Amino acid sequence: MTHDDFEAIAALDAIGAASPDEESALRGHLASCIPCRRARDEFAEAAALLAKDLDPVAPPHDVRERVFEDVTPFEEPERDRGFFSRWGLATAATLFLALWGWREVGIRVMRERVRTQQADMQRLSDEKQVLELQREKLAAAVASLASANTQTIALTGAQMSPSAAAKVFMDSDKHRAVVVFANLPKCPSDKSYQLWIIRGDQPKPQSAGVFDVDKGNATITIENLPVMTEIKGLAVTMEPRGGVDQPTNANYYVVGKT
Amino acid sequence: MGSFPSPATEYLPAVARGDLAAFESLYDRYSSTVYALLLRILGNADDAQEVLQETFVKAWSNARMFDAVRGSEVAWLISIARSRGIDRLRARRIRSDRENDAGREISHRSAFVDHATGAEDAIRSQEQRAVRGALVELPEAQRIALELAYFEGLSQSEIAARLGEPLGTIKTRMQLGMKKLRERLKAYH
């Protein structure tokens, strides 16, 4: 996964909408990525806007009283016991600091070792999570391809990319479709391909996901496919990176009727 | 916080040192915001008051964990309250499958009354206007998806099922909505 992918997960995580797998992959990544941690914090601050948008409501006064009954004041610092006590304390503190400094050298070496081992473990754990996610996606895609009820639809390259092609494997039982693209041109770094579903019951196309191609190829899985409604067709446009709500242009790369 | 400064980090560092007066100010400053959020999530005044109490008690004991570099103190409080509120909501759903939704008797746009001073009121309404602007600018479909996740604790699939939309659409909507809120916040600061 790229930093953009993790940033997209961080956006969902801030409103509690990341899936457990996404959340776990994000936690692993954040341990070692400062820019993504910053993005996560910014999304958390942005999520708070949803709460701040509500009109404030003053709680009943007795809640305030209950809160203050429940909080325990921290222990007060010990009182001054005079010169000898202060001198004793100073000596003890000096001795303690000397011993502490000597120990600290040893501890630092150990800490460095532990840190290296933790970083290795974290890296392996991240890789495991990524592989696990890929395995799950692959298993779901293979199950849909192998299903007896899977319907296959061919999409063809459009004006922007006549040599491109795609096949849709639509598994109505699982409300899932796997779309395999071939021969699509490479996207500029600030753009992504976006797949659109044209539904009979909706006036505007619905986004079915954003994807990039690797050597012209890509596979995208659509979950929760609205099989109960008429799907008139599918189309692919090139959009600003990360996707948009509605297509910003009618330059289709791949189109097809279902 | 990372790219934009934390607005109004006034009380938590003192609360972390055990300053009760600062804690009182923290409560008086933010309890109305937190209570409104909990009413919106739980739709029930008794539950909202209990969670409000838990939130501030937790803020008192965990104030040392607040990091002003990561965000504002109000966002920190809101995140504690939301997390506890959603936990309570889920526990209640499991217990009674939400016997009925009629309990949502409290409007989340009710009158604003609290202990704030006039100057604080002015600052707050300025913030409020900026915030309202941010949400009003969001396309309705994005705002609805964000609210279902944030206030009702629904997962992506639950939102997709409730709105009858593909999961990919919902995911994209929420991500775009959050991006816009983040950009708006940056512009505001």
| pLDDT at residue number A89 | 77
Quote the ipTM score.
0.80
pTM over 0.90? The answer is no
| pLDDT at residue number B127 | 60
B116-189 and B1-113 share a CATH fold: no
| pLDDT at residue number B113 | 36
Which tokens in the block code for residue B78? Answer: 């809101």
pLDDT > 60? residue B7: no
Average pLDDT in chain A:
83
For residue A186, the surrounding DSSP H or E stretch is: none
* DSSP assignment letter at B43: -
Count A/B contacts: CB-CB distance under 8 Å: 227
Q: Residue A198 in contact with residue A235, Cβ under 8 Å?
A: yes
At B59, the pLDDT band (50, 70, 90 cuts) reads very high
Instruction: Write down the number of H helices and E strands in chain B.
Output: 8, 0
What are the chain B neighbours of A45 within 8 Å (beta carbons)? 1, 4, 71-72, 75, 182, 185
C-alpha angle with apex A222: A184 to A25, nearest 5 degrees?
95
| pLDDT at residue number A16 | 92
CATH classification at residue A193:
2.60.40
At B114, the pLDDT band (50, 70, 90 cuts) reads very low
pLDDT > 60? residue B109: no
| pLDDT at residue number B179 | 93
A42/A64 same-domain check: yes
Q: How many domains, in total, are found in chain A? A: 3
| pLDDT at residue number B122 | 53
pLDDT > 50? residue A38: yes
| Interatomic CA distance for residues B175 and B164, integer angstroms | 18
Give residue for tokens 């409730």: B162
Let me know if residue A3 belongs to a domain.
yes
C-alpha angle with apex B179: B173 to B181, nearest 5 degrees?
105
CATH classification at residue A44:
1.10.10
* DSSP assignment letter at B112: -
Count of Cβ atoms closer than 10 Å to residue A21 Cβ? 13
| Interatomic CA distance for residues A157 and A254, integer angstroms | 4
| pLDDT at residue number B130 | 60
Inter-chain contact B3–A46, Cβ cutoff 8 Å? no
Which of A58, A67, A224 shows the shortest C-beta gap to B53? A67
Which of B52, B83, B146 shows the shortest C-beta gap to A50? B146
| Interatomic CA distance for residues A201 and B160, integer angstroms | 16
Let me know if residue A82 belongs to a domain.
no
Smallest CA–CA distance, residue B72 to chain A, in Å, is 7
At B52, the pLDDT band (50, 70, 90 cuts) reads very high
Instruction: Write down the number of H helices and E strands in chain A.
Output: 5, 8
| Interatomic CA distance for residues A245 and B142, integer angstroms | 9
| Interatomic CA distance for residues B49 and A210, integer angstroms | 43
SS3 A93: helix
Work out the angle between the directed axes of helices B20-42 and A34-52 (0-180°, nearest 10): 70
The domains of chain B are located at 1-113, 116-189
Q: Strand pairing partners for B126?
A: none
Let me know if residue A89 belongs to a domain.
no
Let me know if residue A24 belongs to a domain.
yes
A128/A226 same-domain check: no
pLDDT > 50? residue A142: yes
- If contacts are CB pairs under 8 Å, which of residues 189-248 in chain A contact chain B? 195, 197, 206-210, 222-226, 242-245
Least confident window among A35-44, A62-71, A217-226, B10-19: A217-226
Inter-chain contact A57–B155, Cβ cutoff 8 Å? no
A247/A209 same-domain check: yes
Average pLDDT in chain B:
80
Q: Residue B11 in contact with residue B68, Cβ under 8 Å?
A: no
Work out the angle between the directed axes of helices A61-70 and B45-62 (0-180°, nearest 10): 40
What are the chain A neighbours of B78 within 8 Å (beta carbons)? 48, 51-52
Q: What CATH number has the domain spanning B116-189? A: 1.10.10.10
At B100, the pLDDT band (50, 70, 90 cuts) reads low
| Interatomic CA distance for residues B98 and A131, integer angstroms | 38
A195/A229 same-domain check: yes
pLDDT > 90? residue A212: no
* DSSP assignment letter at A73: P
| pLDDT at residue number A98 | 79
Domain that holds residue A61: 1-76
Least confident window among A43-47, B10-14, B58-62: B10-14
| Interatomic CA distance for residues A43 and B178, integer angstroms | 7
- If contacts are CB pairs under 8 Å, which of residues 19-38 in chain B contact chain A? 20, 23-24, 27, 31-37
- The percentage of residues in chain B with a pLDDT greater than 70, rounded to a whole number, is 73
| pLDDT at residue number B169 | 93
Q: Residue A46 in contact with residue B182, Cβ under 8 Å?
A: yes
Phi, psi of A211 (to 5 degrees): -150, 160
| Interatomic CA distance for residues B28 and A245, integer angstroms | 41
- The residue among A6 and B122 whose pLDDT is bigger is A6
| pLDDT at residue number B97 | 60
| pLDDT at residue number A164 | 92
When mean pLDDT is compared over A187-196, B35-44, B92-101, the highest value belongs to B35-44
- The percentage of residues in chain A with a pLDDT greater than 90, rounded to a whole number, is 19
Q: Residue A58 in contact with residue B114, Cβ under 8 Å?
A: yes
* DSSP assignment letter at B103: G
Give residue for tokens 């779309």: A179
| pLDDT at residue number B129 | 60
For B12-40, what is the mean pLDDT?
Answer: 92
- The percentage of residues in chain A with a pLDDT greater than 70, rounded to a whole number, is 93
- The residue among A191 and B94 whose pLDDT is bigger is A191
Half-sphere exposure of B40 (CA within 13 A, CB side): 27
Least confident window among A12-16, A89-93, B7-11, B111-115: B111-115
| Interatomic CA distance for residues A60 and B35, integer angstroms | 10
For B84-105, what is the mean pLDDT?
Answer: 71
At B188, the pLDDT band (50, 70, 90 cuts) reads low
| pLDDT at residue number A124 | 85
For A218-232, what is the mean pLDDT?
Answer: 77
For B162-172, what is the mean pLDDT?
Answer: 92
At A103, the pLDDT band (50, 70, 90 cuts) reads confident
| pLDDT at residue number A8 | 92
- Provide the CATH topology of domain B1-113: Rna Polymerase Sigma Factor; Chain: A (1.10.1740)
pLDDT > 90? residue B27: yes
Of the candidates A176, A227, A179, A226, which has an alpha carbon nearest to the alpha carbon of residue A206? A226
Phi, psi of A256 (to 5 degrees): -175, 150
| Interatomic CA distance for residues A125 and B18, integer angstroms | 39
Phi, psi of A165 (to 5 degrees): -155, 165
Q: Residue A207 in contact with residue A245, Cβ under 8 Å?
A: yes
